[in-house]
Amino acid sequence: MYHKTDVHIGRRVRERRVAMGLSQSELAEGLGISFQQVQKYESGANRISGSRLWDIAQLLQVPVGHFFEGLDPSLELADAGGEEQPIDRQTLEIARAVNRIDDESLKTQLVRLVKACAKSA
């Protein structure tokens, strides 16, 4: 059983890492650890210590509090297949690409297109 807080923090690390276009190996290298350890952090299987979370925040260029945003105050245990699943890589890559578009009208149209595709699926 994984703790919901660890799963949430790991998910937020992964989301930010992918949004920045970093691989697990690149993050691991910056932290001086193995990419397998990054995998364990991101899944919530291993807890991230305070000092390590500080280092991750520095590398991902966010305040430490970023990883706690949206955290459910409930401290129940969650299994790996629990209701809070990480956003998949494709979704994050699409979000990163759309964020690079300056034309707000085009962004809005893309969001509508994706929603329409999702409805028909």
**Domain locations in the chain as residue ranges:** 1-72, 88-121
Cα–Cα dist 68/16, whole Å: 13
Give the confidence band of 66 by pLDDT, cuts at 50, 70, 90. very high
Phi, psi of 72 (to 5 degrees): -70, 130
CATH fourth-level superfamily of 1-72 = lambda repressor-like DNA-binding domains (1.10.260.40)
Beta carbons of 8 and 70 less than 8 angstroms apart: yes
Q: Give tens-digit pLDDT for 31-64.
A: 999 999 999 999 999 999 999 999 999 999 999 9
Average pLDDT over residues 62-75: 86
Give the confidence band of 82 by pLDDT, cuts at 50, 70, 90. very low
Angle at CA 19, nearest 5°, toward 15 and 23? Answer: 85
